[in-house]
Amino acid sequence: MITQNLEQKAAELRLQILLTALKAGKGHVPPAFSWVEIGVALFYGGHLNIRPHEPQWEGRDRFILSKGHGCLTLYAIMADLGFFPKTELENFCSPGSLLAGHPDTNIPGVEGISGSLGHGLGVSAGLALGAKLYSSPWNVVTVLGDGECQEGSVWEAAMFASHHRLNNLMAILDRNGLGATNYTEQSTALEPLVDKWNAFGWEVMKIDGHSFHELHAAMTAFRQRTFLKPLMVVAQTVKGKGVSFMEGSVDWHHRMPKGKEVDEALQELKQAHSLPGFSANTGDGSWLMIFVMRHFTRYFKWSQGIRA
């Protein structure tokens, strides 16, 4: 995909993420928004070797979403690629639903459970070592939140990965600067992050996490096995990216928009979407339109503060 198409896909997915959360009345929307470009670059930019209709294919690259609360982005991508029907998004967080509030291995394509933070890098390092031991060619990619880097388990995994020279492992740090309730540098400061990861024996790249050009360059270097060490990509991002009143705000983590906030958020995302795409005659965009129309009454009541 060319950059313009990737940007359009990112806009489409952000709209889908918000619609899914609104339908459920819950979900971590801002933490999902911050890594949308990262996810799009990986899954649509040719940087993950996967087969959506054969999710257990042995030769697949393994992807672990360590910041599991950002799962709405992963679910939107996987539904779009065909890992499971898009209609499953309508049941997000419903009783008995395939799609819970954090990733689970019952979901086709999900490689690890990540409800509890701080474990994704350790799981990923174990997978990468296993691939090395069996001379398997596949890679392991994980996306971490910066808040979970305040946990010691992350740094234990970092030592393990560098000790075993796991250059088939790439970790991407969603560096949006915010935890659940505070800025990371005001709770337990993480900086200087680049120096710390270097000191732990990793190759480190610092990039703009919303730039497809910079994401592509980092991911290409990894796939070409340019380094003899595991690669840490510190991706500078904005929590809540795409909705102005959510962006970079400590108030927005699990909170859901209400009333006029819903209208403002949908309007901003629709403008960014700007596909012929929001009409009933265009591919994936038609599904989004049908989705909105089907639940219009529910959204209207919910936006007035009344649960349908």
CA dist 249 and 118 (Å) reads 23
- How many alpha carbons lie under 13 Å from residue 81 in its C-beta half-sphere? 24
Token code pair at residue 232: 């840490």
For residue 168, the Cα-to-chain-centroid distance in whole angstroms is: 20
Distance of CA 58 to the CA centre of its chain: 23
Q: What would the DSSP string read from start to end of 140-187?
A: EEEEEESGGGGSHHHHHHHHHHHHTT-TTEEEEEEE-SB-SSSBHHHH
pLDDT band at residue 289 under the 50/70/90 scheme: very low
For residue 238, what pLDDT is reported? Answer: 96
Residue 78 Cα to chain centre, angstroms: 11
* pLDDT on residue 65: 97
Q: What is the 3-state secondary structure (H, E, C) of 80-126?
A: HHCCCCHHHHHHCCCCCCCCCCCCCCCCCCCCCCCCCCCCHHHHHHH
- The conformation of residue 58, written as its DSSP 8-state character, comes to T
Residue 288 near residue 275, CB atoms below 8 Å: no
The pLDDT of residue 305 is above 70: no
Q: What is the pLDDT of residues 138-183, one digit of tens each?
A: 999 999 999 999 999 999 999 999 999 999 999 999 999 999 889 9
- List beta partners, residue 169: 140
**pLDDT one-digit tens code per residue, 179-203:** 988 999 999 999 999 999 999 999 9
The reported pLDDT for the residue numbered 225 is 86
Q: Are strands 169-175 and 62-65 parallel, antiparallel or unpaired?
A: unpaired
Average pLDDT of the residues of the chain: 88
**Tens of pLDDT along 36-72?**
999 999 999 999 999 999 999 999 999 999 999 999 9
Regarding pTM above 0.85, the answer is: yes
Domain residues of the chain, as ranges?
A: 3-303
Both tokens of residue 226? 């340019």
Quick one: CA torsion of 36, 37, 43, 45, rounded to 10 degrees?
160
Look at residue 202 in the predicted model and tell me its pLDDT: 98
Amino acid, single-letter form, for residue 47? H
Torsion of CA 277, 7, 30, 117, to 10 degrees: 120
pLDDT for 1 equals 64
Q: Could you count the other beta carbons within 10 Å of the beta carbon of residue 93?
A: 16
At residue 275, the pLDDT reads 46
Whether the CB-CB separation of 249 and 79 falls below 8 Å is answered with: no
Q: Which of 127-136, 232-241, 264-273 shows the lowest per-residue confidence on average (mean pLDDT)?
A: 264-273
**18 or 294: which leads in pLDDT:** 18
The contacts of residue 287 (CB under 8 Å, 6+ apart) are 86
CATH class of 3-303: alpha beta
* HSE of 300, CA atoms in CB hemisphere, 13 A: 6
- What tens digit of pLDDT does each residue of 56-65 get? 999 999 999 9
Task: Determine the pLDDT at residue 253.
Answer: 85
